[in-house]
């Protein structure tokens, strides 16, 4: 009862968001401070995770991927910005840890590269333990664990201890554990994955990704996957690029990580700023100024070097629009008729 009251007191309805939005991240910054040093891990990130979709996020090491996934899961609180969860219909950054933990139990599942299984327990017991931690009632716990073990294809191995399972089987146990609090949420659930196939061989990784897609289609769970893998990114409905804590592009299904510049879509942020992908800036010689024009339904950005900028700033003579006399460069009043230069 106390949880309900606390959430209601801090309720911040997002009535303008579509019903299929599971999580919305709005202009989030995350700044870590160590003594006098500040590190900006996220810099104005905005994105939406949709119901029943698989979203991947790619980027170099240190780009902010892990901070982003932890911020979405409520493990790390954004320094500035809002994170909306569909199950609460509110900004979670203002909630207490107690309320957040309770809400997470029926909304967020975690699947990481290190599967965190207890070695002395068998596959079934590991999933059952996850169900206990998630607060699944005892009356339905066994039935739910049995259903998940069957769903991930481990019925014949459920009595095997974790130490005797293959890498792929351990990953399947971890997936079942991640879903134990989401399987009956009618689609409004999210599994956060950090390099889920990183320690698996390609064939096993493919089977795990096929299982993700099957679960995605059958129970409607959304997946948000941090990865460096072409294999993983190719399975996603949408892939997000992040560099230096900034979202630098979005890509539709079936991307090639070696040809991101051919499929990249950039979005204006909440302050009408447009990120410039660093790989394209490098190709252009890392310019800092651009001339922007709009022609034939296309925006055109022309990099400008110092010489061009200086010539644009050069003082030019003008012709007075009133009397036709020449106005010398650097002057703005006609000496003949007294008219001012206007746009």
pLDDT in tens, 303-335: 877 665 555 556 778 888 889 999 888 788 888
Across-strand partners of 274?
A: none
Counting beta carbons within 10 angstroms of the beta carbon of residue 41, is it exposed (0 to 12), middle (13 to 18) or buried (19 or more)?
buried
pLDDT over threshold 50, residue 11: no
| Cβ–Cβ < 8 Å for 277, 241 | yes
pLDDT of residue 310: 58
Where do we find the tokens 């481990």? 154
Write out the two tokens for 251.
């890509």
Write out pLDDT tens, residues 107-157: 888 887 666 788 899 999 999 998 888 888 888 899 989 988 988 888 999
Share of the chain above pLDDT 90, in %: 23
The DSSP result for 189-252, as a single string, is -EEEEESTTTTS-HHHHHHHHHHHHHHHHHH--EEEEE---HHHHTT-SEEEEEETTEEEEEEE
The owner of tokens 């996850």 is: 130
Question: Which pLDDT value is given to residue 13?
Answer: 47
Whether residue 253 is predicted with pLDDT greater than 90 in this model: the reply is: no
pTM for the model stands at 0.78
Query: What are the Cα distances from residue 245, in Å, to 59, 61, 145, 220?
Result: 10, 11, 38, 29
Mean pLDDT within 18-39: 88
Give the model's pLDDT for residue 58.
Answer: 92
Residue pLDDT, tens place only, 42-78: 998 999 999 888 999 998 888 899 999 999 999 999 9
Whether pLDDT at 342 is above 90: no
CA separation, residue 44 to residues 40, 53, 223, 286 (Å) = 10, 23, 22, 22
CA distance 99 to 21: 21
Q: Residue 83 in contact with residue 91, Cβ under 8 Å?
A: yes
Each residue's pLDDT tens digit, 163-217: 898 888 888 898 888 888 887 766 578 999 888 887 778 888 888 888 888 888 8
Give the chain's mean pLDDT.
Answer: 84
Domain range summary for the chain, segments of one domain joined by +:
2-107+185-269, 280-311
Neighbour count for residue 168 (Cβ, 10 Å): 18
Whole-number pLDDT of residue 314:
62
Identify the pLDDT of residue 308: 55
Assign domain 2-107+185-269 to its CATH architecture: 3-Layer(aba) Sandwich (3.40)
Mean pLDDT of the region 13-33: 82
* pLDDT on residue 1: 41
186 versus 221: the higher-pLDDT residue is 221
Half-sphere exposure of 21 (CA within 13 A, CB side): 17
Q: What is the number of other CB atoms lying within 10 angstroms of the CB of residue 116? A: 14
More confident: 199 or 25 = 25
Digit-coded pLDDT (tens) for 82-111: 999 988 888 898 888 888 888 888 888 888
> CA 305, 307, 310 angle in degrees (round to 5)?
110
92 close to 74: Cβ distance less than 8 angstroms: yes
pLDDT of residue 57: 94
């Amino acid at each position: 009862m106390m949880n309900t009251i606390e959430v209601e007191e801090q309720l911040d309805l997002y009535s303008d968001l579509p019903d299929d939005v599971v999580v919305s991240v709005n202009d989030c910054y995350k700044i870590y401070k160590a003594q006098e040093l500040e590190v900006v891990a996220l810099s104005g990130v905005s994105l939406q995770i949709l119901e029943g979709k698989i979203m991947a996020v790619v980027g170099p090491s240190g780009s902010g991927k892990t901070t982003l996934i932890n911020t979405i899961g409520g493990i790390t609180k954004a320094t500035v910005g809002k994170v909306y969860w569909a199950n609460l219909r509110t900004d979670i950054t203002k909630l207490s840890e107690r309320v957040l933990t309770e809400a997470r139990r029926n909304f967020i599942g975690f699947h990481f590269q290190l599967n965190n299984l207890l070695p002395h327990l068998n596959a079934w017991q590991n999933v059952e333990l996850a169900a206990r931690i998630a607060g699944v009632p005892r009356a339905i716990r066994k039935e739910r664990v049995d259903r998940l073990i069957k769903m991930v294809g481990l019925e014949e191995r459920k009595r095997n201890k974790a130490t005797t399972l293959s890498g792929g089987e351990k990953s399947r146990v971890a997936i079942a554990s991640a879903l134990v609090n989401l399987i009956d949420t009618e689609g409004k659930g999210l599994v956060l994955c950090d390099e889920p196939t990183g320690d698996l061989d390609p064939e096993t990784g493919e089977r795990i990704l096929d299982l993700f897609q099957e679960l995605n289609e059958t129970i409607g769970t959304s997946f948000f996957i941090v990865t460096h893998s072409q294999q993983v990114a190719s399975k996603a409905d949408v892939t997000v690029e992040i560099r230096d804590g900034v979202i630098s592009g979005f890509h539709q299904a079936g991307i090639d990580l070696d040809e991101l510049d051919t499929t990249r879509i950039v979005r204006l942020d909440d302050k009408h700023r447009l990120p410039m992908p660093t790989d394209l800036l490098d190709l252009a010689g890392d310019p800092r100024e651009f001339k922007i024009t709009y022609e034939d339904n296309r925006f055109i950005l022309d990099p400008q070097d110092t010489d061009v900028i200086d010539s644009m700033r050069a003082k030019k003579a003008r012709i007075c629009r009133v009397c036709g006399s020449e106005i010398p460069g650097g002057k703005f009043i006609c000496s003949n008729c007294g008219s001012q230069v206007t746009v």
